[in-house]
Amino acid sequence: MPTFTALTTLTGARAAEALGAAMEVLHPEPTGVGVFEMEDGSGLWEVGGYFTEPPDVAGLALLAAAHGAQDFAVSQLPETDWVAHVRRELAPVEAGRFFVYGSHDADKVPQGRAALLIEAAMAFGTGHHGTTLGCLRALDRLLDQGVHARRAVDIGCGTAVLAMAAALVWPEPVLASDIDTVAVEVAEANLRANGLMDRVRCVEAAGFDHPLLAQSAPYDLIFANILKGPLVALAPDMAAHAAPGGHAILSGILNEQADEVIAVYARNGYNLVDRAAIVDWTTLTLRRAG
């Protein structure tokens, strides 16, 4: 089945959300509409729709004009088995003692490694993205320094790869949360695939806003691989839920945003331990004063 995309950009969250809502009632209807803030500091938002038949180009032009957006770029995507393609392209990821692989590479798992099975269909959090890889490397460095987090939590867990990594190296149970229902379902599927359902508990929550997360604090280690905006907003809560001397591993931060995030967390009682960049993305390791 062919897939068509229609993409445009415009300024302002409210205008972008209004345009996205208007696209939902187009005929033919899109199978999905996405509204995203671009991460290049331009202030622009991208609005896109996916269609299984050619979209109404004239209708898209009218919507763009009415909402002050650029003209839509309409394209037809080639018919591709994307999961098979990803399986061919994504090699296992090695991050110190951690080894992240898909089932098609099960025969490549080295002895003595902390191995995590994440299928190629799980788009974000396979370990290949610079943010996830950076967090795994940061955790590996803490382990080399003798850190033992008896209470760990993964905020905005996605596939739960970071929570599972912690559960593989420490005996205590680990918590994970995500604001998105589908992400929680994906995380739980990964826990089952890795035999970690009794080691990691995943809940649906925005930040720390869940009774289980609140009652389990303070944490010796908090992962938050999200984006700069939510990280900045979470800084006071992060500090409030951290144990004195506890660590935080933060990512989803563009390199040019790192100094601002460090400054915000410094004002909330965190000291920088390490920063590492992988291509465009920075991972920060911080320690709560105490």
205-230: pLDDT as tens digits:
999 999 999 999 999 999 999 889 99
- The strand pair at 281-288 and 242-254 is best described as antiparallel
How sure is the predictor about 119, in pLDDT bands with cuts at 50, 70 and 90? low
Residue 129 has pLDDT above 70, yes or no: no
Q: How many CB atoms lie within 10 A of CB 2?
A: 11
Say which amino acid occupies 172: E
CATH of the domain spanning 3-77, picked from 1.10.1740.10, 1.10.10.1150, 3.30.70.260, 3.90.1180.10 = 3.30.70.260
CA terminus-to-terminus distance, the chain: 58
- The strand pair at 93-95 and 32-37 is best described as unpaired
Asked which of 24-38, 190-204, 207-221 is least confident by mean pLDDT, the reply is 24-38
Closest by alpha carbon to 189, among 160, 168, 163?
160
Residue 6 has pLDDT above 80, yes or no: yes
Average pLDDT of the chain, as a whole number: 88
Report the pLDDT averaged over residues 133-155.
Answer: 96
Domain range annotation of the chain: 3-77, 129-288
CATH code for the part of the protein at 129-288: 3.40.50.150
Same topology, domains 3-77 and 129-288? Answer is no
Closest by alpha carbon to 163, among 150, 172, 176?
176
